[in-house]
Structure 1
Amino acid sequence: MFSRIALHRETFGDTPRDIFSNQHWQVTAEKYPSGVESLTIKNHRLTLEILPYLGQMIWDAEVDGINLRMDNMFTQPYPVSTIQDTYGCFAFHSGLLANGCPAPEDTHPLHGEFPCARMDDAELILHEDGRLGVRSRYRYIQGFGHHYVAVPEVTVTPDSGVFDISLSVTNPKSSTSPITCPPRQNAQSSS
């Protein structure tokens, strides 16, 4: 059992706005000058900044005062279609149709089509056990081409520096998809 709070684009403004808090969490929404929506989740050990509408990237991550994000030249994320145009986040999901660095004969963008996908919707999820999640949805569809629905989620644990990153993918077509996914694995920070 869980409770959901829809994260409408209008929720994100030019100044930070607290949208949820309890004894474990403080969740703040704001929009960068570039127009990218940002959600920051904090507990006493963890600060995660998630971009729920831009590939559901984790833009920044800090555990016990240690910043885990790579050093980079970007001062903010940008609403772009390829990851190298806003590179520097803590984590992103690679493409499902193609990913990684393209070989000379490849035509796909660096790390594929998904890292900067413009998500269709997003929500905050409060689980019965106190964990807090951010879930987004993206429907990729081409006429006479590929079609998938991807649902990335970041789930954080109360009073901990632990967080899970997951992605579920559905092929709504009646034909086989070239997408191959390994068995579900969750990335965790050190606790």
Structure 2
Amino acid sequence: MALHIDLADAQFGVVEHVIVRNEKIAVSTFRYASGVAALRLKTARANIVVLPYKGQQIWSAEFEDRDLTMGSMFEEPVDTTDYLRTYGAFFIHCGLAGVGAPGPQDTHPLHGELPNAPFQAAWLEVDEGENRISICGSYQHTIAFSCNYLATSKVSLGFDETWLTVDLSVENKRNVPMDLMYLGHANFRPVDFGKLIYAAQYDPASVRVRTSIPAHISPAEGYVEFIEALAREPVLHHVLRPDLAFDPEVVFSIDMMAGLDGWTHAMQKLPDGGADFISYQPAQAPMTGRWLCRTPDQQGLGIAFPATSGVEGHHREKAKGCYVELAARDTWSITMRMGALGAADADAMEDSINHIAGR
């Protein structure tokens, strides 16, 4: 049985305070100068910060003293629900009314209501038998005549692991079906000459670059030409050379393939032989996005975004059939793993990826 520890907003002060400790892990509460509450999980191999009441975002993730989190213009989270006014987390739950940029017929904000959702409850689960700790939380989103769901998030860290397991479940509490759109926005830091390796065919039919330009970005010189080249040869972005023009961003849709165990994997293999990775099950998230941004102010790599939908907003995605129809009183869930690997484990994952893709 895991030990369940309820959390309260009053526990989060300006001075960091340890609330759980054993010989392998310490959990502390603190509050950023912006007022946003945060939990730190600290082991010999990991330093993780989660925002328990703000979308249950994983604000930062360090493994083996290396920061995996994207570089952004934000030194700390901001107390706002505006997606672009507090952007720089390692991981963000996106959805559920829609993902991506809203279209003319949509009413949801950019990437939906979930990224900065005010979670009403948060708690810890500590399982010393399994050497694992989890930060959990729940958010009930109710709008009269429209929607009523309960989202429950769980971020788990093994005491000796260099990766996180992230779970989300969504219960439709209405007596009619619910349209659900989800995207797991995992934002790694790109490393010069890192190599992208993933379980898909490396051809234009399977790795499709977005050629439309959303209203919230302004392309730099040479951007359109770069996009046209990637549309012809997606392998051009597989090695993250410093001169590649991911400015302000490049987005792909990828047809990922699953292994016999139902899991798929994508990784940034580092020059030193290690890797950053994300793994998930396409049966839960049949669509995959990729996001790259390398500018003087932002450095972000979405190696693979597990998703139920594309990023064109609710109306367009529903018209394409890219959503989950969650039945009345039913529950949808997803499990993801993400983090860092040493050289031997990175080689083993690369072999697995190549086996899945038949390379």
Does residue 97 (structure 1) correspond to residue 97 (structure 2)? The answer is: yes
Does residue 144 (structure 1) correspond to residue 294 (structure 2)? The answer is: no
Q: Deviations over 1:2-22 (max 9, x none)?
A: 111111001100110001110
The answer to whether the 8 Å contact 1:72/1:87 transfers is yes
Does residue 83 (structure 1) correspond to residue 233 (structure 2)? The answer is: no
Identical aligned residues as a percent: 32
Describe the SS at the equivalent of 2:90.
coil
The answer to whether the 8 Å contact 1:82/1:115 transfers is no
The alpha-carbon deviation at position 180 of structure 1 amounts to: 5.3
Describe the SS at the equivalent of 2:97.
coil
The alpha-carbon deviation at position 39 of structure 1 amounts to: 0.3
Does residue 172 (structure 1) correspond to residue 169 (structure 2)? The answer is: no
Does residue 43 (structure 1) correspond to residue 43 (structure 2)? The answer is: yes
Alpha-carbon separation, structure 2, partners of 1:90 and 1:25: 21
Which structure is higher in helix share?
Answer: 2
Alpha-carbon separation, structure 2, partners of 1:169 and 1:24: 32
Letter in 2 for 1:40: R
State the partner residue of 1:186: 336
The alpha-carbon deviation at position 105 of structure 1 amounts to: 4.3
Describe the SS at the equivalent of 1:15.
coil
The answer to whether the 8 Å contact 2:95/2:180 transfers is no
Letter in 1 for 2:3: S
RMSD of equivalent CA atoms: 1.4
More deviation, 65-74/132-141 = 65-74
Q: Deviations over 1:127-182 (max 9, x none)?
A: 24121000010000011111100001100011121210110110111111112566
Q: Deviations over 1:96-126 (max 9, x none)?
A: 1111222354332111110000000100110
Structure 2: give runs of 5+ residues left out of the alignment: 183-282, 285-333, 342-359
Rg larger in structure? 2
Does residue 118 (structure 1) correspond to residue 118 (structure 2)? The answer is: yes
Letter in 2 for 1:190: A
Alpha-carbon separation, structure 1, partners of 2:83 and 2:18: 29
Alpha-carbon separation, structure 2, partners of 1:121 and 1:154: 14
Describe the SS at the equivalent of 2:91.
coil
State the partner residue of 2:155: 154
The alpha-carbon deviation at position 85 of structure 1 amounts to: 1.1
Describe the SS at the equivalent of 1:84.
helix
Q: Deviations over 1:28-73 (max 9, x none)?
A: 1001121100000011111100000000000010011110111111
More deviation, 27-36/180-189 = 180-189
Alpha-carbon separation, structure 1, partners of 2:25 and 2:150: 29
More deviation, 146-155/174-183 = 174-183
Letter in 1 for 2:145: F
Alpha-carbon separation, structure 2, partners of 1:29 and 1:132: 15
Describe the SS at the equivalent of 1:106.
coil
State the partner residue of 2:130: 129
Describe the SS at the equivalent of 2:137.
strand
Alpha-carbon separation, structure 2, partners of 1:187 and 1:130: 17
Alpha-carbon separation, structure 2, partners of 1:92 and 1:7: 21
